[in-house]
Structure 1
Amino acid sequence: MSIVAGNGEGSSNDPKVEVESGVEASIALEVSSVTNPAHVELDSLKAWLVVFGCCGAMTTTFGLTTSFGVFQEYYGRVLLSDQSASSIAWIGGLQYCLLFFLGLPIGSLNEKGYTRQLVWSGSIIIVCCQVGISFCSTYHQLLIVQGLLFGIGSGCVFTPACAVVQPWFDKKRNLAMGILATGSAIGGVIFSLAASNLLPQIGFAWTARVLALLSLIVLIIASLFVRQYPGLPENRSTSMIGAVTQLKKPAFSTYILGVFLASASVYAPVNYAQEYGQHLELPKGATQYLVTIINGTSIIGRIGGGQLADHFGSIQTETVGVFICGTMCFFWTKCTSSASLIAYAALYGVAQGVYVALLPAGAAAIIPSADLGRSIGVMFSILSIAMLISQPVFGLLIRDTSGPAAYSHAAIFGGSVLMLSALSLLISILLRPRTRNMKLEA
């Protein structure tokens, strides 16, 4: 999907800006449209190798982060049984936060040509942290290694991998970005599936080392292919004035409020799904793959959401996805059997995938192309705060009682926040400026 801005207020000089689905594509929008030199072939085999490498980078960064729900359950039950769910959630919250918060500073270094250095250094940090996790036995050790340091390493790899793909393509750009967007979901499936199976068989320490080895292999391959497009102009503008100006516009500020509220709640069922199943004392075989199921079905939501947005609009489709997530949160504690919880996880993954896919595209429906990339960067820095505090807040709302009632307050809170988010997104649609020459194209 793309936005064509004419001579309306706030439109840029660029006639066309491509908008891809997926949280990962948000940072890619920071790369300006450029005139491709004749000696660089677009949509080539070399370009697809870049996609292959970046997809691997997504797998070991965002994919590992979305797999934290497996460790959330294990820590609460075994390794950190003396800690509350809220305290443990700070580890995953730090991962989510730094993954997005570092987008601006790392993105600036990437634009200055330090792509390979960032990817290699981040890869080293990720693998070292994975090995280091295997030697951790206390809460504060895990908070520093798995939360803080791993989050920094992931940010160093995640941001460049997102930003370098777009300029390599012309006709097949949307397809390339769609493949990139599935990388994190595939990683979430692989790592959560591996952790769920290995933890009871070989223990925590060796599970972390196996994940480190898997990460090392994937990141070595990824590092060989993640590279900047050679035709990008030097001395690209890094001014944040335009992005800050956009925050003053009612439509964009309301949109940020909406996605802030959504980001504060939409990941809770992912992180607490397996812990909830364990709390209900459901069969281990039926609940240990709930995070895997959510990550797997989110691929459907990501791809399908982008297709629906081409017909109905990005913010409109995103609003529906958030509304469905909110409705399902209210019924979270109604799932008391293995079958109902598995079905819930599958459906929730699809709805959540729609939201995740259209987050940057929704902003692009409001912001002119000249300020789009850095405006999204500012937006994600704001959202990182919600991602940091949301999981611990949900942990505080979980009561120390038996049965599904222990999670009732968390479910009601999550559903209410998501409904407020849907309302804010709807208002942003109404506040969005209508210019005669601006239209959405499929």
Structure 2
Amino acid sequence: MDHIDLPVITTGDSDKPISSEECPSDYFPDGGFRAWATAFGGFLVQFCTYGYTISFGVYQDFYGRIYITNQSPSTIAWIGSVNAFLFEICGLISGQLYDRGYVRQLVIGASLLQVISLFMLSLAKPDQYYQESICRSFYGLVFLSQGIGSGCAAGLLYIPSMAVVSQYFRKRRELVMTFVASGACLGAVVHPIMLNNTLNGPIGFANGVRASAALISGLLLIACFLIKPRFPPSKASTTFLVTAKKCAHDSAYIWGTAGLTIFAVGFYYPLFYLQLDSAMQGLSKTFSFYSLVIMNTSSFVGQLTSGLLVEYFGVPGVLTVSTFAGTVLLFSLIGLRTLASVVVIGILYGYSAGIFQALWAPVLAVLSPDPSDLGYALNVYNSGPPISGALLTGDYIWWRGAVFNGIVGAIGCSCFIAMQIILRRRDHVSQ
């Protein structure tokens, strides 16, 4: 039975609506057409936004070798890094707007921004990182459209597309949210295949980006029709300072968020540079194009299977192990030379990265003192790719990036180990 327009549930001594976390379990349909339609809409949003963000490795390779050859790898990496940064920091805005009931407005408005940004990207000309015809101080069309416009759109869409699912599901919530999040990994498989075959094919950059934008336009249009909120707007409000004060007294939360923040610096390095690294090592053009697809396909599998692992080992434990494996594989990029090494590292790192992508939001939901604070918790910062680009230099000294990101990953993993120790002690005390 579908539940669309439901009366507001109130507490016994107040007319104040209670949140979805406080509702009785039988108040959630946990299925039905409207519930699964909303979940599928969220899946499409993830496919078109975060899936596109983590496909930037295609653009990093194309820009560096063909389209923006007058800029360093570090400068080009800022496009994707700012996109990833805004993807996450815009959660501060979208979380508040979501709580106030602007779900439909967020989904429609941000979808429109994503489409416009990609069509604007198709207008960029070779070597125009800066739009000097407007003003030297303005960033170029590529940076504005792909870095800022698309990044903001993806960030504004992420939290609503994930959080609205929790209004329909309780018993299956983790499983369904994993399904929704897996849309990003599927997008990270489809987008590189499409982009590599269009940007480097006969139709060229402009028409290739337009074809990609057209696909995203159609899918986001479907998502706009499917995603519908179920609960009335929350009257409770929170601020960043209030959330920070609450979390400052929770040592597990501090270590967990520190781990996410630090590990995220190194996390994007293979996603941005594996394809370019493969090409620069002299591997075939066709194989280098599909190196990113291999990694993202494995990431998709990792994201889908993470739910099964969590059932047995818990979210914090699985996340800690995946970051340890990811750290080892970041260091192993030093030895990337042959086709076999690209395949092995791509598969293994992709799988661990998929688990990390699937669980970084759920682990904050586990650690957050109040579910209403989750919108603020879902924000980590990405300075890693530009730093890696600066270390590579124009001579592409690959071991520097591998060592730097491996060390950063090790520090992040250490934070997760500390978090896990604290959580185990709490469980032992509570028993």
1:56 deviates by 0.7
* Corresponding residue number in structure 2 for 1:350: 351
* Corresponding residue number in structure 1 for 2:412: 421
- Higher-RCO chain (CA-CA 8 Å, sequence separation at least 6): 1
**Contact kept? 1:399, 1:407, Cα under 8 Å:** no
Q: 1:378 aligns with which of 363, 376, 379?
A: 376
TM-score, normalising length: structure 1: 0.85
* Corresponding residue number in structure 1 for 2:339: 338
Question: Aligned pair count?
Answer: 399
1:250 deviates by 2.3
User: Residues of 2 paired with 1:414 and 1:352: CA distance?
Assistant: 14
* Corresponding residue number in structure 2 for 1:186: 186
TM-score, normalising length: structure 2: 0.87
1:189 deviates by 1.1
User: Residues of 2 paired with 1:300 and 1:38: CA distance?
Assistant: 32
* Corresponding residue number in structure 1 for 2:164: 164
Q: 1:52 aligns with which of 29, 32, 40?
A: 40
**Contact kept? 1:243, 1:372, Cα under 8 Å:** no
User: Residues of 2 paired with 1:325 and 1:380: CA distance?
Assistant: 21
- Return closer, same or farther for 1:178/1:366 CA change in 2, 3 Å cut-off: closer
**SS at 2:351 equivalent:** helix
What is the root-mean-square deviation of aligned Cα atoms in Å?
A: 2.3
1:372 deviates by 3.5
1:437 deviates by 8.4
- Return closer, same or farther for 1:351/1:38 CA change in 2, 3 Å cut-off: closer
1:313 deviates by 2.8
User: Residues of 2 paired with 1:130 and 1:101: CA distance?
Assistant: 20
1:314 deviates by 2.0
1:393 deviates by 0.3
**Contact kept? 1:34, 1:232, Cα under 8 Å:** no
* Corresponding residue number in structure 1 for 2:426: 434
User: Residues of 1 paired with 2:336 and 2:47: CA distance?
Assistant: 30
Q: Map 1:356-395 onto structure 2 (within 5 A).
A: 356-368=357-369, 371-374=370-373, 376-381=374-379, 383-384=380-381, 387=382, 389-395=383-389
1:248 deviates by 3.4
* Corresponding residue number in structure 2 for 1:398: 392
User: Residues of 1 paired with 2:87 and 2:286: CA distance?
Assistant: 31
User: Residues of 1 paired with 2:26 and 2:347: CA distance?
Assistant: 47
Consecutive unaligned residues in structure 1, runs of 5 or more: 1-13, 15-30
The structure 1 segments of at least 4 consecutive aligned residues displaced by more than 6 Å after TM superposition are 36-40
**SS at 1:164 equivalent:** helix
Matched, 1:282 2:274: no
- Return closer, same or farther for 1:158/1:251 CA change in 2, 3 Å cut-off: closer
* Corresponding residue number in structure 1 for 2:102: 114
Question: Could you tell me which amino acid in structure 1 is paired with residue 145 of structure 2?
Answer: V
Q: Map 1:142-221 onto structure 2 (within 5 A).
A: 142-201=142-201, 202-221=203-222
* Corresponding residue number in structure 1 for 2:320: 319
**Contact kept? 2:41, 2:226, Cα under 8 Å:** yes
1:228 deviates by 0.7
**Contact kept? 1:262, 1:421, Cα under 8 Å:** yes
1:296 deviates by 1.4
Question: Could you tell me which amino acid in structure 1 is paired with residue 72 of structure 2?
Answer: S
**SS at 2:200 equivalent:** helix
**Contact kept? 2:30, 2:172, Cα under 8 Å:** no
**SS at 1:434 equivalent:** helix
1:40 deviates by 7.8
Consecutive unaligned residues in structure 2, runs of 5 or more: 1-10, 12-18, 130-139
**Contact kept? 1:59, 1:186, Cα under 8 Å:** yes
